[in-house]
Amino acid sequence: MGGSTGIGRGIAQALLADGLQVVVFSRSNPDSQPGLEGVIWRPVDFTDPDESRRRLEAAMQEFGPSLDAVFYSAVYYGPKRAPLLEVSEQEWRDQLNVNLHGLWLTLGATLPALRLRTPSLFVGVSSEVVYNAGPLRSGYAATKAAAASLLNSLAQEEGENGVRVVQVLPEKMVDTAGIRQRRPASFDYTGYMTPRSFERIALNLYRSRGEGFHGDSLVVGNDGEAWRVDEAAPVSQSRQSA
């Protein structure tokens, strides 16, 4: 979910290059993105929950029998960081619908199929805001924290031999289309990670179906190295100018 840009795109590229059938659910068509040639695309916009539910149900009729892994990276941040009282109700609802309710809808649609092919895998792309919150991003922090808690609870329900649930999050800022919309044209991204940093962990998790990492949250570094969040908590990325 959410594989046309950003971290989701990096994950989709890695799986596609490994010879897997990859289905991307996103608002924008990934066909024009280098490295995603041959990917299957189905349009989903989680800001419209009812339509998203129908599209997910139709997709499961088509792909459910062969489904063995789901990566959820769909995210809605908003146009910029802002104080709580300056965030519109619509923006708050969009964050809820994409970051949390979209995850809930995806789990509802895909878990029955994943449970037929255990051990199978569900990976959620998390964020350092789960651990640090931070100013000027209350809606994003609240919905990402709730999503992480949802997946942690599910992991306890499933167990190691069921649907293995793993979360991954970047060590620092990632150069994505969404970030670039919020930065000036002259901004220097030298110190930022790229979506390709997630290729190695995506392949390792898929190939092992998350063996040994069920219930874990893994911080991913710029070089692709990953470690459990309880070994080294992520540093806050809060910046007043962001």
- Give the domains, in start order, of the chain with CATH numbers: 6-228 (3.40.50.720)
Per-residue pLDDT band at 188 (split at 50, 70, 90): confident
Task: Answer for the pair 14, 199: CB distance below 8 angstroms, yes or no.
Answer: yes
CA dist., res. 189 & res. 186, Å (int): 9
Per-residue pLDDT band at 34 (split at 50, 70, 90): confident
Distance in angstroms between the alpha carbons of the first and the last residue of the chain: 26
Range from 60-74, 173-187, 191-205 carrying the lowest mean pLDDT: 173-187
Decide if pLDDT at 241 tops 70: no
Half-sphere exposure of 57 (CA within 13 A, CB side): 6
Decide if pLDDT at 242 tops 50: no
Query: pTM for the whole thing?
Result: 0.92
More confident residue, 181 or 51: 51
Please state the rounded mean pLDDT for residues 123-148.
94
Q: What average pLDDT does the structure give for the chain?
A: 91
Backbone angles phi, psi at 165, to 5 degrees: -110, 125
| pLDDT tens digits, one per residue of 170-179 | 998 887 777 8
